[in-house]
């Protein structure tokens, strides 16, 4: 048994009130940032454990916080958070979650997912835009300072922040910089001020950040949660696929989108494409420029 495994087991025992004896660990694929394992205990309990370098502790802390926020409405399933911590030797940080066995969608699963997401958005309103702490989208820091105006939040904490990172990383030449500033200036005319309250969104909802459990119910994972506009949520669902027409039709039956949503959704995608540029490099620069030119 490794020192990290021993610390994880101690944390499980302390948090759950039941001692944890390891039967086996199984590596879990699919992540590009963290090491992930399935812990199978002697008493049959199962846990999902992420680990990384110690400086990733704050990322795990905020992921746990986002899951707890999404769990409260009891609309869509999320893995139950257990604990996070540092290994005794200081070499690792870790996050412990409920293990959810993947299953297959039922014929109605996608429709039910759309209904669930719309219901989540309706039930989780706030007075301002932001979150109680900054968090991460992928491994990129995501500022969540509270703002009363959505336009100010989007300019400062989302679009402007990613444009600054692109400049810092050397991806923004003079044309890129000029277009970025023009888009920031045009933000208010593009997205306006829809008469909707800030709503809790997953924040990074693409096909890799949900799964279906063994009952065919959607499960949200890896959130970058904050209170924002629901159109910004739907923008990410349309960027990398994984959601069919039944999902969107069911969503809009519960809460129809406002006029002009299609163009605004395309605009919100710029944030995520910029984030991919900052995470993965120049292969996303052309896509960023296309969107910047479209909205400048």
When pLDDT is averaged across residues 139-143 and rounded to a whole number, the result is 96
| Beta strand segments in the chain, E | 22-27, 35-41, 46-52, 81-86, 93-98, 135-137, 140-142, 199-201, 210-212, 218-220, 226-228
The CATH number for 206's domain is 3.90.1200.10
Q: What pLDDT digit, counting tens, does each position of 66-102 carry?
A: 999 999 999 999 999 999 999 999 999 999 999 999 9
Last residue of a domain, one of 46, 71, 98: 98
Task: Examine the domain organization and report whether 128 and 47 are in the same domain.
Answer: no
Last residue of a domain, one of 39, 66, 98: 98
Task: Examine the domain organization and report whether 127 and 68 are in the same domain.
Answer: no
pLDDT tier for residue 194 given thresholds of 50, 70 and 90: confident
Q: What per-residue confidence (pLDDT) applies to 125?
A: 86
Q: What pLDDT digit, counting tens, does each position of 249-294 carry?
A: 999 999 999 999 999 999 999 999 999 999 999 999 999 999 999 9
Q: Which domain holds residue 273?
A: 109-295
The CATH number for 14's domain is 3.30.200.20
In a domain, 253, yes or no: yes
In a domain, 156, yes or no: yes
Last residue of a domain, one of 98, 121, 152: 98
In a domain, 147, yes or no: yes
Task: Examine the domain organization and report whether 142 and 36 are in the same domain.
Answer: no
In a domain, 104, yes or no: no
Q: Which of 134, 185, 204, 213 is catalytic?
A: 204
In a domain, 233, yes or no: yes
In a domain, 129, yes or no: yes
Task: Examine the domain organization and report whether 130 and 87 are in the same domain.
Answer: no
Whether 43 is catalytic: no
**Signed CA dihedral, 159, 149, 192, 76: sign only:** positive
Q: What per-residue confidence (pLDDT) applies to 289?
A: 97
Task: Examine the domain organization and report whether 92 and 113 are in the same domain.
Answer: no
Q: What per-residue confidence (pLDDT) applies to 30?
A: 61
Task: Examine the domain organization and report whether 122 and 269 are in the same domain.
Answer: yes
Q: What is the pTM of this model?
A: 0.94
C-alpha distances (whole Å) from 86 to each of 4, 58, 83, 251 are: 9, 10, 11, 40
In a domain, 166, yes or no: yes
pLDDT tier for residue 192 given thresholds of 50, 70 and 90: confident
Task: Examine the domain organization and report whether 113 and 91 are in the same domain.
Answer: no
For the chain, how many structural domains are there in total? Answer: 2
Task: Examine the domain organization and report whether 94 and 115 are in the same domain.
Answer: no
Residue 29 has pLDDT above 90, yes or no: no
């Amino acid at each position: 048994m490794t020192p990290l495994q021993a610390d994880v087991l101690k944390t499980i025992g302390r948090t759950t009130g039941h001692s944890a004896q390891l039967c086996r660990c199984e590596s879990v694929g699919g992540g590009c940032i963290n090491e992930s394992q399935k812990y199978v205990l002697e008493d049959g309990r199962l846990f999902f454990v992420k680990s990384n370098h110690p400086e990733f502790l704050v990322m795990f802390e905020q992921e746990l916080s986002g899951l707890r926020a999404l769990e409260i409405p009891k609309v869509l399933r999320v893995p139950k958070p257990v604990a996070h911590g540092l290994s005794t030797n200081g070499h690792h940080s870790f996050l412990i979650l409920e293990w959810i066995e993947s299953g297959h969608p039922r014929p109605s699963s996608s429709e039910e997912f759309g209904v669930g997401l719309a219901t989540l958005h309706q039930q989780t309103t706030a007075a301002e835009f932001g979150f109680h702490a900054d968090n991460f989208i992928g491994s990129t820091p995501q500022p969540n300072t509270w703002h009363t105006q959505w336009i100010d939040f989007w300019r400062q904490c989302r679009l402007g922040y990613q444009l600054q990172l692109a400049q810092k990383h050397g991806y923004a030449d003079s044309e890129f910089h000029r277009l970025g500033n023009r888009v920031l200036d045009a933000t208010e005319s593009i997205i306006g001020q829809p008469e909707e309250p800030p709503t809790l969104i997953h924040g990074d909802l693409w096909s890799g950040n949900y799964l279906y459990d063994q009952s065919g119910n959607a499960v949200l994972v890896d959130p970058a949660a904050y209170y924002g506009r629901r159109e910004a949520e739907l923008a990410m669902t349309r960027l990398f696929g994984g959601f069919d027409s039944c999902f969107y039709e069911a969503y809009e039956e519960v809460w129809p989108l406002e006029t002009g949503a299609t163009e605004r959704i395309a605009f919100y995608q710029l944030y995520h494409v910029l984030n991919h540029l900052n995470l993965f490099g120049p292969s996303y620069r052309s896509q960023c420029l296309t969107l910047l030119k479209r909205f400048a």
